[in-house]
Chains A and B, each alone.
Chain A
Amino acid sequence: MATMAGPSRLIGAPIKRREDPRLVQGLSHYVDDIKLVNMHHCTFLRSDYAHADIKSIDTEAAENLSGVVKVITGVDIQGKVGSIPCAAEIEGLKVPDHPALAVDRVRFVGEPIAAVVATDPYVARDALDLIEVEYDELPTVVDLDDAIESDSTVIYDEFGDNIAFTMPLDAGDVDAAFAEADHVVSQRFVNQRLIPNSIEPRGVLAEYLPGEGTLTVWSSTQVPHHLKTILSLLLDLPEQLVRVIAPEVGGGFGSKLNVYPEEAVVAYLATELRKPVKWIEKRSEGFTTTIHGRDQVDYVDMAVKNDGTITALRAKLLANMGAYHQLLTPIIPVLTYLMMPGAYKISNIKLELIGVFTNKMATDAYRGAGRPEATHIIERMVDLAAQKLGMDPKEIRFKNFPQPDEFPLEMATGVTYDSGNYQMSFNKALDTVDYANLRTRQAELRSQGRYLGIGVATYAEICGMGPSVGVAGGGWESSTVRIERTGKVTVLTGVSPHGQGQETSFAQIVADEYGISIDDIVVIHGDTGRQPQGIGTFGSRATAVGGAALIIATQQVKEKMAQIAAHMLEANVDDLVFEDGNIFVQGSPDSAVTFADVAATAHVAVNLPPDVEPGLEATHFFEPSNFTYPFGAHISIVEVDPETGEIDLQRYVAVDDCGNIINPLLVDGQVHGGIAQGLGQAMYEGAVYDENGQLLTGSFMDYAIPKATQVPRFETEHTTTPSPVNPLGVKGVGEAGTIASSPCLVNAVVDALSPFGVTDIDMPMTPNRVWQAIQDAQ
């Protein structure tokens, strides 16, 4: 068979994105840019209270407003719109009913109560002010530690307490390891709640054609296929007649890896009214009702020997679910649980993970999803241990890394790291910053009363989600390759990029395999009506799983093409080469058939070899054998102004190993963006609720996502350790920057402030907090 591709030209090259010309001209179409004839507009009335019984809802005045077509409340859709689902399967998990519109009780501020449909969005907004809701306020549960106290208010009477699930682990002999430890370090960590804030808010447009019985839904989603299946179940429609389109999607970071009440209600309204209905999230709604990330309180102990060997880890992890489970809510802290050892060999681990209900918006996947929390814990603990032992943070890390030849490496938490060389990436980072000299300079500055801090984080993370056994709803991915009659190539993929650039990187893969121009390839995604089944884009999986499906489908079609070409050339299949748009016998490029000729032959179908069917198309469903485990080392250098607590981030170096790289330009972009989000968590971002469950950081006036002036230039480097679990050898890079950067920066600031006796600092490290930490330590 034709296994010889032409010389690799595009894989590994910094190819400019093919998505960009439409985007830089404002010519692409996000959901809000799509307008249908007779389109109506929906708005949602939302709870002002975090916990209250709804006594009554009076919608009459709203219904009477000119231009209002329909007002519905929870009661109106009972039995018509199913409960918003959670896909998590965890033993003993309590799953509350999650009506799309609250019926008797509201459990977080922003919970939808009623929906208005009007002919004009301004009228729909006016109608909200005319709906009267009478509430009976209930005591609220907002604090994680308080929520699990026996005297806490209970959010679901039927559950008896606020504990959604408990997941224990006891690997090795933890008690013995602590008994034999030379030192034990203990710390409580707050991994604060974050608000994803993709710049495009969520949005849904639905159209129902009663004659055909088809429902088409345009949604700003990362998972159109899941949404299609779930909407068909929630609305009791045949799945074949539901089509979900994720048009241009303006970022997601996990927040659009979900199925939301608004998607169900808008789709329902379209079927009920038989008119197109659109809802576009306002930013203030996004703050309160798009899933949040993180929100854990972790109690951790580490046992260490005098030589720096970490012998055991013990932790209680409290994870805030919020008031309801969204699609994957309880799964997220399980990733923390699995990745607790980080980049270190720790054989004795005892964990208790507790999922807790509170009167807040649900948490779910936000960039990194569970791994930033794990990395924060382990990287802070390693630094605390080093400090206690008087070791350099560098030395303790080398002491506890596994050796490169130990991979695949089974960890105490049950996962098996695929491949790694942690020494290589860490050494590269240390060399880049000239670590030894940095420490000297730090000492000099300290003697002048200046506080330089050097922060290190060496991480291992889990991505390439993943084998289906580990991913709710399936962890495979599908891709189709179709060679059209003219020789143009259509790629259809189940992944759903929303900024990641697979229209380019996937075309690179196919162009190289076929030896054709990238301009002859179009990558189509985000439309369940056009492509085969799929899962979507999240968990740094698109290339590791969808790209793997693609290369296999590409090769399947190539094999068939080679048979046809061999027949045309009267040659042996095994001797053929695909190069520069031609197929020929190696060494005889002058007697070639063109790629397009073979495509035509395959479709005209009068000169096919025996037993070869017409057409050139293959779909492959790829099921990975394992997750992938990217790793790397980040180093940051800060100077802290002790008078004001302001942090000057002077340098940030990231060495990431994400396996093989398809497009280094895109990889750097992912790393930059990831670091910026981790930096946001470390320094600026944090959702703050008051004791009544009101969100105090409900707009960009109070919730700071990093601005251009608030991030430095990042220096990115790579090492390459291919993953053995997919044919491309890629690991994934979407989340690495976020996972490593927050502990890296906290370690730097704590390092800077160590002369004051500061040993830990909560995120975000606002000037106020840094200043207070210094005051408290003195």
Chain B
Amino acid sequence: MIASSFEYFAPTSVDEALSLLSEHGDDAKILAGGHSLIPAMKLRLAEPAVLIDIQRVEGLKGISESDGKLVIGALATHHELESSDLVNRTLPILAQTAGEIGDVQVRNKGTIGGSLSHADPAADWPATILALDADLKIVGSGGERVVKATDFFEELYTTALEADEILTEIHVSIPDGNTTGTYLKLHQVASGFALTGVAAVLSKSGDVCENIAVGITGVSDVPYRASEVESALAGRALTADNIAAAAEKAADGVDILEDIHASEAYRSNLAKVYTRRAIEGAAS
């Protein structure tokens, strides 16, 4: 319940935060909403010597539209994404995903940037961010770079972020009216994390699927794009049979997690069933 002692900094600019990060290196942790880090610190699973609270950093908040893209500040809370008119109008799957995270209090405080940087294998955002092919803007002492969502999640709790870098923005292209998406999730009954979460985004021409992207979380160490499913369906009619056949490939080639909440066989089954249902939901 009680964290180890640490030194606390509350920078007000990205530059200030970055210089603190380079100064303290691996001893430092970035504190955003705190809903991944503080619980770990209370159990002393994380004992950073330095905490850099970026809550007051200018320019990391807010959600806006720019050049056909939705620009989401890393400090945007799940609640802001869930309730934003702009998000609900342009990319409702983001609002839908946000609404599936934790509970009201967690959504009020937890941030999209914090969640993505923490990279919990059962977090909700990765599925949707993958399916939307988002770009993640990262700044570090070496400057600014953009990483594709598909390149961001590397290993369990490990992302493309270097120790001296901060995720600052998430950019998502706003699709045309032909594109629809659904995020479907089976909650782990205790924690509320995803036993399986599937985000399906697709566009169709008549009954034919033009483009499809499926992001899956909770099933493996690392969230992934179900590319076998996508290729099995792209260019095909969105019939129940075709969807079902494609969804059967949802866990192909994936190392599937097993824990006290779900066996490997069950998770594999969930991935397929939830993929099918998510695609059906998006297609309907």
Contacts and interface: CB of A to CB of B under 8 A. Distances in A.
A768 B188 CA distance: 11
Interface in A738-777: 766-768, 771-772, 775
A644 B263 contact: no
Nearest to A645: B266
Nearest to B270: A644
Interface residues of A, number: 28
Give the one of A688, A771, A772 with max B CB within 10 A. A771
B190 A767 contact: no
Contact of B190 (A283, A702, A775): A702
B57 interface: no
B262 A684 contact: no
Contacts of B43: 284
Contact of B261 (A284, A645, A702): A702
B158 interface: no
A697 interface: yes
Nearest to B43: A284
A571 interface: no
Nearest to A690: B260
A194 to B, nearest CB: 14
A738 to B, nearest CB: 19
A159 interface: no
A129 B269 CA distance: 43
Given A282-B1, A643-B273, A701 B190 contact: yes
A399 to B, nearest CB: 38
Give the one of B190, B262, B270 with max A CB within 10 A. B190
B260 A767 contact: no
Contact of B260 (A284, A696, A772): A696
Nearest to B196: A644
B244 to A, nearest CB: 11
A125 interface: yes
B14 interface: no
B189 A644 contact: no
B262 A768 contact: yes
A126 interface: yes
Nearest to B4: A126
A125 B47 CA distance: 14
Give the one of A129, A696, A768 with max B CB within 10 A. A768
A714 interface: no
B269 A704 contact: no
Contacts of A771: 266, 269
B145 interface: no
Nearest to A280: B1
B266 A772 contact: yes
A28 B43 CA distance: 29
B261 A768 contact: yes
A703 interface: yes
A643 B269 CA distance: 8
A771 B274 CA distance: 14
Contacts of A283: 1
A66 interface: no
Contact of B44 (A129, A710, A768): A129
Contact of A768 (B5, B190, B191, B266): B266
A768 B187 CA distance: 12
B186 interface: yes
A122 interface: yes
Contacts of A494: none
Nearest to A124: B2
A775 B263 CA distance: 13
A688 B260 CA distance: 8
A644 B273 contact: yes
A772 B273 contact: no
A129 B5 CA distance: 13
Contacts of B189: 684, 704, 710, 766
B266 to A, nearest CB: 4
B36 to A, nearest CB: 12
A766 B263 CA distance: 11
Nearest to A696: B260
Contacts of B262: 768
Contacts of A702: 190-191, 260-261
A121 B270 contact: no
A284 B269 CA distance: 33
A646 interface: yes
Interface string B39-63: 0000110000000000000000000
Nearest to A764: B189
Contacts of A645: 266
A643 B262 CA distance: 14
Nearest to A706: B189
A644 B260 contact: no
A407 interface: no
Interface string A693-733: 00011001111100000100000000000000000000000
Interface in B232-284: 260-263, 265-266, 269-270, 273-274
A766 B262 CA distance: 9
Contacts of B195: 767
A266 B78 CA distance: 43
A121 B2 contact: yes
Contacts of A688: 260
Interface string A630-653: 000000000000011110000000
B44 A767 contact: no
Contacts of B191: 700-702
A110 to B, nearest CB: 15
Contacts of B266: 645, 767-768, 771-772
A704 B190 contact: yes
Interface in A76-130: 121-122, 125-126, 129
Contacts of A121: 2
B186 A646 contact: yes
Contact of B263 (A643, A710, A772): A772
A644 B267 CA distance: 10
Given A129-B44, A696-B260, A702-B260, A767 B186 contact: yes
Contacts of B4: 126, 129
Contacts of B190: 684, 697, 700-704
Interface in B14-42: none
A241 B43 CA distance: 39
Contacts of B270: 644
Interface string A481-494: 00000000000000
A126 B47 CA distance: 12
A696 B258 CA distance: 14
Given A702-B191, A768-B266, A771-B266, 14 more contacts: A126-B5, A129-B44, A283-B1, A643-B273, A644-B186, A644-B269, A646-B186, A697-B260, A710-B189, A766-B189, A767-B195, A767-B266, A768-B262, A772-B265
29 contacts: A125-B1, A126-B4, A126-B5, A129-B4, A129-B44, A283-B1, A284-B1, A643-B273, A644-B270, A644-B273, A684-B189, A684-B190, A688-B260, A696-B260, A700-B190, A700-B191, A701-B190, A702-B190, A702-B191, A702-B260, A703-B190, A704-B190, A766-B189, A767-B195, A767-B266, A768-B261, A768-B263, A772-B263, A775-B265
Interface of A: 121-122, 125-126, 129, 282-284, 643-646, 684, 688, 696-697, 700-704, 710, 766-768, 771-772, 775
Q: Which 3 A-B pairs have the closest CB atoms?
A: A704-B190, A125-B2, A704-B189
Interface of B: 1-2, 4-5, 43-44, 186, 189-191, 195, 260-263, 265-266, 269-270, 273-274
